[in-house]
Structure 1
Amino acid sequence: MLKKLFTAILAVTLIFPVLTGSALAETALTGAGATFPHPLYSKWFRDYQAEDPTVSFSYEAQGSGEGIRKILAREVDFGASDKFLSDKELKDAPGTLLHIPTVMGAVAVTYYIPGVGTGIKLTPKALAGIYLGKITRWNDPLIARENRQLRLPANEIVVVHRSDASGTTSIFSDYLSSADTSWATTVGRGTAVSWPAGIGAKGSTAMVKKIREVPYSIGYVEIAYALENELDTAALKNKAGRFVKPTMLSTRAAAVQGMKGLKVKDEAEPDYRLSLVNQPGKDAYPIVGLTWLLVYRDQSDPVKGRKLVDFLTWQLKKAEKMTSTLHYTPLPDTWASRVEKTIMSIRVSQ
Structure 2
Amino acid sequence: MRQVLLLIAGLAGFLCSTANAGADIAGAGSTFAAPLYAKWADAYRKSGGDKVTYRAVGSTEGIKAIIANQVDFAGSDEPLTDVDLLKNGLLQFPAITGGVVPVVNIPDIRPGQLTLSGKVLGDIYLGKIVNWNAPAIAALNPGLKLPDLAIAVVRRQDGSGTTRIWTHYLAQVNADWKGTVGEGSAVHWPRGLGGLGNEGVATFVHYVPGAIGYVAWDFTKRNHLAYVAMKNAAGATVEPEPRTFQAAAASADWSGAYDQFLTNEPASDAWPVVGATYVLLRADSGKPERSDATLKFLDWIYENGNQAAIALDYIPLPAQALTEIRERLHAQVRVGSTNTNDDR
Aligned 1:106-145 pairs, distance under 5 A: 106-118=99-111, 119-145=113-139
Work out whether 1:303 is the aligned partner of 2:289. yes
CA contact (8 A) 1:15 1:62 kept: no
Cα deviation for residue 43 of structure 1 reads 1.2
Identity %: 38
Deviating more after overlay: 132-141 vs 297-306 = 297-306
Q: Measure the CA separation in 2 of the matches of 1:178 and 1:92.
A: 30
* Residue in structure 2 matched with residue 329 of structure 1 by the alignment: 315
CA contact (8 A) 1:65 1:165 kept: yes
* Residue in structure 2 matched with residue 199 of structure 1 by the alignment: 193
TM norm structure 2: 0.89
Q: Give the counterpart letter for 1:81 in structure 2.
A: S
Q: Measure the CA separation in 2 of the matches of 1:280 and 1:240.
A: 6
Q: Give the counterpart letter for 2:236 in structure 1.
A: R
Q: Measure the CA separation in 2 of the matches of 1:296 and 1:281.
A: 37
Work out whether 1:33 is the aligned partner of 2:29. yes
Work out whether 1:99 is the aligned partner of 2:85. no
Q: Measure the CA separation in 1 of the matches of 2:14 and 2:127.
A: 36
SS at match of 1:80: strand
Structure number with the higher helix fraction is 2
* Residue in structure 2 matched with residue 44 of structure 1 by the alignment: 40
Cα deviation for residue 98 of structure 1 reads 1.5
Q: Measure the CA separation in 2 of the matches of 1:152 and 1:202.
A: 29
TM norm structure 1: 0.87
Q: Measure the CA separation in 2 of the matches of 1:249 and 1:116.
A: 23
Cα deviation for residue 116 of structure 1 reads 2.4
Cα deviation for residue 134 of structure 1 reads 0.5
Work out whether 1:214 is the aligned partner of 2:203. no
From 72, 81, 95, the equivalent of 2:76 is 81
Residues 171 and 71 (structure 1 numbering): CA distance in 2 closer, same or farther, change over 3 Å? same
SS at match of 2:158: coil
* Residue in structure 2 matched with residue 293 of structure 1 by the alignment: 279
SS at match of 1:272: coil
Cα deviation for residue 299 of structure 1 reads 4.0
Cα deviation for residue 228 of structure 1 reads 2.0
Question: What is the total number of aligned residue pairs between the two structures?
Answer: 321
CA contact (8 A) 1:100 1:342 kept: no
Cα deviation for residue 298 of structure 1 reads 2.6
* Residue in structure 2 matched with residue 283 of structure 1 by the alignment: 269
Which ranges of structure 2 fall in alignment gaps of 5 or more residues?
Answer: 1-10, 338-344
Q: Measure the CA separation in 1 of the matches of 2:198 and 2:12.
A: 12
Q: Measure the CA separation in 1 of the matches of 2:73 and 2:310.
A: 24
Per-residue CA deviation, residues 51-76 of structure 1 (Å, 9 max, x unaligned), is 235x2223221000001111112221
